[in-house]
Structure 1
Amino acid sequence: MKSADNLIGFAIPDEIGSYKLRLTLSSSDGTTQPLENPMVYYVHNEHLLGKDLSWVTGENLEINKE
């Protein structure tokens, strides 16, 4: 379990479509320990007609070293 201060968010456009993301990860302490079971999460926040229609999904993250 990670605390929220270890998480980074980014916005996704409202338009329907396919999007790609490239990001660089680096440790804050300078070590090169491999990540165990890295995941990326999508958090959808939606409120409609007084109902909370929010949801979260997670996908395994594939790391390609370049």
Structure 2
Amino acid sequence: MQMGGQVRAITQSKPTRLEATIMELANCFEQRGSLDVADNVRGALDTISRNEDFLNMSLAVLMTPE
């Protein structure tokens, strides 16, 4: 039960900061001419965002004690 609370805290406390940092890196790649890398990073973030509910549920299952 406590692990589920930890999963929620992990998945809700830092994703926005992490996403902003990764987007900043993508912007840096783009400014340096690595457009393919920047597009790939943005595509990966979009995929993660679209699957957020499934990922959170999977993490909760994995962290549930047997």
Output the TM-score relative to the length of structure 2.
0.26
Higher relative contact order (CA 8 A, sep 6+): 2
TM-score, with normalisation over the residues of structure 1? 0.26
More strand per residue: 1
